[in-house]
Amino acid sequence: MQESEPSGVGDVASPDTERRAALAAALAATGLRDGAAFRKVYQLTSAKLFGICLRICGERQAAEDVLQEVYLIIWRRAASFEPLRSSPITWLATIARNRAIDWRRANGHPLPPPPDAEPRAAVETADDAALADVAMIAREDAHHVHRCLATLDRGSRDAIRAAFLDGATYAELAERAGVPLATMKSRVRRGLLQLRKRMTDDL
Amino acid sequence: MTSDPPTPSTQAAELALGLLDGDERAAALRRVLSDADFAQEVAWWREQFSGLLDDYPPVAPTTDLLPRVDEAAGAAVMPQAPRRWGWFTGGLVSGAVAASLAAAVMIPRPAPIVVPAPAPAPAPAAPLIAVLVPSNAGAQAPVAAWLARNDGALRLTAAVPVPRGRSAELWAIGPDKVPHPLGLLSATGRSSQLTDPMAGLKEGDTLAISIEPQGGSPTGAPTGPVIASGVVVMT
């Protein structure tokens, strides 16, 4: 991960920067078996991680069961979190995404329908404290991948986004789009090649 | 009808996205183990795609799952007094008190979890970490410091603000209570290369950062204000 440029000397840290630092510190302390720190991690991240589980699992009950497992994993693995390798919220969100995908595939659960639009309504149901994490991922590479994806044709872009956000396989993407498997593979692979080029050129 | 064949890069992206299943996934995973370039490409894609995590809208869970997590963990995760995390929310704490609060984090207590964590491969020398509490805790959040002992690289999880024309200097304070200089923070305020990490910083020491004249303290002892400190522990 790249280091950000030095912000102006003596700058007051932005609220997001402070939240990121608070989360990093709480996660580090969780690694030392500090229950109160773990509670802090939960408070800062449960809405974000639940949003991930809900999107991938497609139903609330399953998503809550998966979320419970996710925090158990976090409690057990916090000591292996390396701040140099990833941001805390990326580390936590990746655990949630992987666990939710595992659950859906292990249970043979069908791919949930794609959300119609970005479901901002759901955001309104989360309280302020839970929203504290919303902007924590906001950083250069997030903008970068969004910017580069936006240059792809719509079919490739939607498929790649759905692959990531819904945790869909090729077979599921093909079924959802109503196209043959080979067509979907070609569509995604062409998109990925373009994306690779854009991201590298743009760096 | 056949599809475009995967290139190494698209295969890496497919694995990173989770698109593959069955034999294709197994083949890609084998390749990660046998082909370092491929493994690196998968890691690159993972990092890039992590930017999409932004797109998941947060949704509050209906129930507080912490008690269930606690129960599943088989022991008490919760009963630690949450008070000392008050400084996250901006409680004003003096430097000395803050340092002792940080020390409280380190008090060993019996491991409450029955199932051991899947142990990461033991590193030659486990990194040291410290949660540095700012002396002016109301204005700034704590920062975690991470020291790789094999090469002396020290990183902070957030930048420490350093006034223009000054340097931030790192100190180890051991049982003798005498601050020993460790080196300067980089211009980004986020990292340092310790000159002699093995001799300078040990578990149980206090790691402190002071603001010094450009280039570091002229006397070998801190001359400026200590802006953050915390006790060092081994991971």
What does the DSSP assignment read for A146-187? HHHHTTS-HHHHHHHHHHHHH---HHHHHHHHTS-HHHHHHH
Using a CB-CB distance cutoff of 8 angstroms, which residues of chain A are in contact with residue B127? 82
Contact A24 B144 (CB under 8 A): yes
Best residue of A71, A134, A183 to probe chain B, by most B CBs closer than 10 Å = A71
Q: Where in chain A is the domain with CATH 1.10.10.10?
A: 140-203
A135 has a pLDDT exceeding 60: no
Distance separating alpha carbons of residues B217 and B190, to the nearest angstrom: 19
Within chain A, which residue ranges are assigned CATH 1.10.1740.10?
15-126
Residue A99: per-residue pLDDT: 95
The minimum CA-CA distance between B80 and chain A, rounded to whole Å, is 6
Instruction: List the single residue in A13, A42, A126 with the smallest CB-CB distance to B140.
Output: A13
Q: What does the pLDDT average to over A119-123?
A: 40
Predicted pLDDT of residue B78: 52
Q: Where are the beta strands (DSSP E) in chain B?
A: 128-134, 143-148, 153-156, 166-173, 179-184, 191-193, 206-213, 226-234
The architecture of the domain spanning A15-126 is: Orthogonal Bundle (1.10)
Is the four-CA dihedral A11, A16, A21, A25 of positive or negative sign? positive
User: In the prediction, which pLDDT does B97 show?
Assistant: 41
For residue B189, the model assigns a pLDDT of: 78
Whether chain B has a CB inside 8 Å of the CB on A48: the answer is: yes
- Which residues in chain A have their CB less than 8 angstroms from residue B164's CB? 9-10
How is domain A140-203 classified at the CATH fold level? Answer: Arc Repressor Mutant, subunit A (1.10.10)
- One-letter amino acid at B179 equals P
- Residue A104's pLDDT is what? 92
Residues of B in Cβ contact (< 8 Å) with A29? 105, 131
pLDDT of residue B98: 44
Query: Nearest Cα to A31, choosing from A22, A21, A41?
Result: A41
pLDDT score at B125: 64
Name chain A contacts of B52, Cβ cutoff 8 Å.
Answer: 142, 145-146, 161, 164-165
Q: What is the least distance, in Å, from the CA of A174 to any CA of chain B?
A: 11
Q: Which residue has the tokens 């149980």?
A: B204
Question: Along the 235 residues of chain B, how does pLDDT read in single tens digits?
Answer: 678 888 999 999 999 999 998 899 899 999 999 999 999 999 899 989 988 998 999 999 988 888 888 877 765 555 444 333 333 333 333 344 444 444 444 444 444 444 444 444 444 566 778 878 777 655 667 778 887 777 778 888 777 778 788 888 888 888 777 778 888 888 877 778 776 655 567 777 888 888 888 888 877 777 777 788 888 877 6
For all residues of chain A together, what is the average pLDDT?
81
- pTM for the model: 0.60
Which has more confidence, B143 or A69? A69
Environment class of B12 (CB within 10 Å of its CB; exposed 0-12, middle 13-18, buried 19+):
buried
**pLDDT, position B156:** 82
Q: Tell if the CB–CB gap between A168 and B19 is shorter than 8 Å.
A: yes
Strands (DSSP E) contained in B90-149 are 128-134, 143-148
